[in-house]
Structure 1
């Protein structure tokens, strides 16, 4: 799953061996986001809300996190 975080950066989240792993994506390079811990029991449909809870300080007025296809 790929998410645009308030237009500031993008994160790819994958479930590997039962654990969520996040990567920041910039210019085609994926860098692990080591300070982002996503509990294994967060469901895929809850991910956008979870990321909003974590990154809300980055939001400007009217900005949202969007899932990118």
Structure 2
């Protein structure tokens, strides 16, 4: 199962799964994860995850945290 990490306007988000079955989590500093308070629709392609997160959370952008980036 694939996992993708994103910095979404300063907040860490983990997306796990594949198209048709995405799960979203907020990773904690202790290594645990809690379910995110949003869903990723199943029809979102892997290549479109970053754009989807940017569109969903654009209101959270600040001058310091103004982008969404995929983390290694």
Note whether the superposition's TM-score is higher than 0.5: yes
Query: 1:22: how far off?
Result: 0.4
Shift of 1:61: 2.9
4+ residue stretches of structure 1 with deviation over 4 A?
Answer: none
Unaligned runs of 5+ in 1: none
Unaligned runs of 5+ residues in structure 2 are none
Mapped pair 1:4 → 2:2: no
Number of corresponding residues: 67
Q: TM-score, normalised by structure 2?
A: 0.81
TM-score, reference length from structure 1: 0.85
Cα RMSD over matched residues?
1.8
